[in-house]
Structure 1
Amino acid sequence: MEVKQIIVIGSSAGGIKAVNQLLSKLSPGLPIAVFVVIHMSKNSQAEIIRTQFQRATNYECQVAADGEPITAGKIYIAPANHHLFIKRGIVRLTNGPHENRWRPSIDVLFRSAAAAYDSHVIGIILTGMLDDGTSGMSAIKRSGGICIVQEPGEAEFEDMPANVLNNVQVDYQVLINDMGYIIEEILTQPKKDLVPIPEDVKIEAAITERMISSIDEMERIGEHSNFTCPDCGGNLWKMKHEDFARYRCHTGHVYTENALMEKQNEALEESLWISVRMLEERKNLFLNLAGKAGELQSGAETETTYRQKAAQLAIHIDRLKKLLVAIGKTGPADEGYL
């Protein structure tokens, strides 16, 4: 059976339950190939997820393997610590740089699907935190595909659906239970007029596959920003074909503004903890010196000086620790780990 439609699904926190529910609503025998990215830690076992999904559907579920052909009636699941990438007729896996701090990344899958299958793509975003998937959904929409988003009020974590709705003109905003018949209805509709795939979508997909970019490519899709990549220290380029801010470096790290802020917070927190440690060591050194000076008959004044310096350092240490608590409270909770 020929693949008539590519379906790409992206989710994060709460994703296993949501994707399981969606797969159970797919009518059997449809001419589709389904690709799933769920955020997971690099030590997660995708085979466990595959087993759960297989119980919910008659379609064959498998952990994606690099180079295998795309076949109708199959559901391909991204393995841990690999980007799932689609070429025309072929599944690809890459170990390229993280996008939006994730590997696998939803944006990578969605963008590659748009570049390879243009209007024959249905993108679905389900529950999750932050905004991975927004750029990929935009690529699908701009390439003529169909965009479906879970109703945020139903999502266990509404960030990802809400961010797509705020930045992309989606075709359907629905409950998961309604997605099955919507997909079936889309498949019965007449073929849409082909929309030219935007050049920047094709360039970014090619960069992800090669895992390296050129100056010429970066100048065509972005413009210099004042930010540096928190992962490699290279200059970040601001992508210029989207209505929301997104940044890419030559190495291939990609950040939305939210992801960049979160990464910067982590770097700042690490630096502050190093400062706390060094100040604590210096404070303890002053206290040791004060103790030794106190043992000397003429050391009272020296002891007082050292203890005053230690007390001053204690004040700075306390301030830094309060700042670290404040930074921790503003950052999002860890999510997506299985």
Structure 2
Amino acid sequence: MHRDLVVVGASAGGVEALRAFVAGLPADLSAAVVVVLHMPAGGSSALAAILARSGELPVVAVHDGMPLEHGRVHVAPPSFHTVVQDGVLRLSRGPAENGHRPAVNVLFRSAALVAGPAVIGVVLSGTLDDGTAGMAAIKTRGGLALVQSPEDALYSGMPDNVLRHVPVDHVVPVAEMGALVGRCVGEDVLDGAGPVSEVLRMEVEVSRDDAGAGFGDVPRLGRATNLTCPDCSGSLVELPAGGGQYRCLVGHGWTPEALLDAYDGGLERALWMALRTLEEKTSLARRMASHSRRGGRELVAERYDSQEQEALAAASVLREHLLKPVLREEAEA
């Protein structure tokens, strides 16, 4: 057998990287290519049209049940996971992963499950640790791992995290990636896929549209935590996967960095709500002090003045914290 399924994941900075990647793919590629780019839910995507102008291979947007075809680039549409299943691509409204649908990890895991050593995984520019868990599954099943050089990527988070947690086979600039894939596709490989773990099978089942499939195994295969899911506020279970993976009981999946980032966003929203409350308290205390003075209740007015000043001081501290500039080095640290 030879490697004939190429799965590609990207996020921030991914359009530029994907254009360069597709431009380098040989016109006679004897493998199917499937691409997931993290994108906002809803609406439409012009990615397939953009990539069609970038290289020699035909590029199509995935529809449910589309057969995998050699020499073609299949692009995941927004709002649906793209899952490899029995030689075709299925679209699923399964639970979001790291807040994304489509998600790189979903595509990678499903490819690892059904194709084993025939898979080549490619991670390009993106933030946080998306793609790491999926690439680990590909390697466990005997597939090949290719990563864009972090210094070549507009956003190095995804490549860096894969390199830290997965034994990668090749690290190259994206301009060289397409030609490298062409050479790797031609290699013969032993049909010796690694074992399918219960966790991998469960996570692929959860990502599909099969009602209830795999969900009962989430608490059985994992360890309960005191963490909550940012998507649904349900309890998170820690799964025994490389680098740490979390799932809630309805299936939302999170990696550690994505979970921390989501908590940061929730904290900022809470702080803005607190600032709004303080501003409203300031305004109300001022109105009540004025009303008390008009009624000749000076002592009451002074108490409201004190509350206004306390709220103003607290709001000033909170506003300064929210609006202060953050240096890039601090953010990356």
Structure 2, unpaired ranges of 5+:
none
Deviates more, 1:79-88 or 1:137-146: 79-88
Cα distance in 1 between the residues matched to 2:213 and 2:316: 45
Q: Once the two structures are superposed, what CA deviation does each residue of 1:271-299 show, in whole Å capped at 9, x if it has no partner?
A: 22222222322221211111122223x32
Cα distance in 2 between the residues matched to 1:106 and 1:197: 19
Q: Is the Cα–Cα contact under 8 Å of residues 213 and 250 in structure 1 kept in the other structure?
A: no
Quote the residue 1:270 is aligned against: 269
What amino acid sits opposite 1:70 in the alignment?
Answer: L
Correspondences of 1:91-110 after superposition (within 5 Å): 91-110=89-108
Q: Tell me, yes or no, if structure 1 residue 14 matches structure 2 residue 17.
A: no
Quote the residue 2:320 is aligned against: 322
Structure 1, unpaired ranges of 5+:
334-338
Cα distance in 2 between the residues matched to 1:168 and 1:77: 25
What amino acid sits opposite 1:133 in the alignment?
Answer: G
Correspondences of 1:275-294 after superposition (within 5 Å): 275-294=274-293
Quote the residue 1:35 is aligned against: 34
Q: Is the partner of 1:156 in helix, strand or coil?
A: coil
Cα distance in 2 between the residues matched to 1:27 and 1:273: 51
Q: Is the Cα–Cα contact under 8 Å of residues 127 and 155 in structure 1 kept in the other structure?
A: yes
Cα distance in 2 between the residues matched to 1:192 and 1:332: 44
Quote the residue 2:236 is aligned against: 236
Quote the residue 2:88 is aligned against: 90
Quote the residue 2:123 is aligned against: 125
TM-score (norm 2): 0.91
Quote the residue 2:143 is aligned against: 145
Cα distance in 2 between the residues matched to 1:189 and 1:64: 27
Q: Is the Cα–Cα contact under 8 Å of residues 2 and 185 in structure 2 kept in the other structure?
A: no
Cα distance in 1 between the residues matched to 2:123 and 2:214: 31
Q: Once the two structures are superposed, what CA deviation does each residue of 1:191-214 show, in whole Å capped at 9, x if it has no partner?
A: 224123333212210111136465
Deviation at 1:216, TM superposition (A): 4.8
Q: Is the Cα–Cα contact under 8 Å of residues 131 and 164 in structure 1 kept in the other structure?
A: yes
Q: Is the Cα–Cα contact under 8 Å of residues 125 and 154 in structure 2 kept in the other structure?
A: yes
Q: Is the partner of 1:118 in helix, strand or coil?
A: helix
Quote the residue 1:158 is aligned against: 156
Q: Is the Cα–Cα contact under 8 Å of residues 13 and 129 in structure 1 kept in the other structure?
A: yes
Q: Tell me, yes or no, if structure 1 residue 59 matches structure 2 residue 38.
A: no
Correspondences of 1:191-206 after superposition (within 5 Å): 191-195=189-193, 196-206=195-205
Deviation at 1:7, TM superposition (A): 0.3
Cα distance in 2 between the residues matched to 1:146 and 1:67: 26
Cα distance in 2 between the residues matched to 1:103 and 1:295: 59
Deviation at 1:144, TM superposition (A): 0.5
TM-align CA RMSD = 2.3
Cα distance in 2 between the residues matched to 1:103 and 1:332: 26
What amino acid sits opposite 2:157 in the alignment?
Answer: D
Q: Is the Cα–Cα contact under 8 Å of residues 230 and 262 in structure 2 kept in the other structure?
A: yes
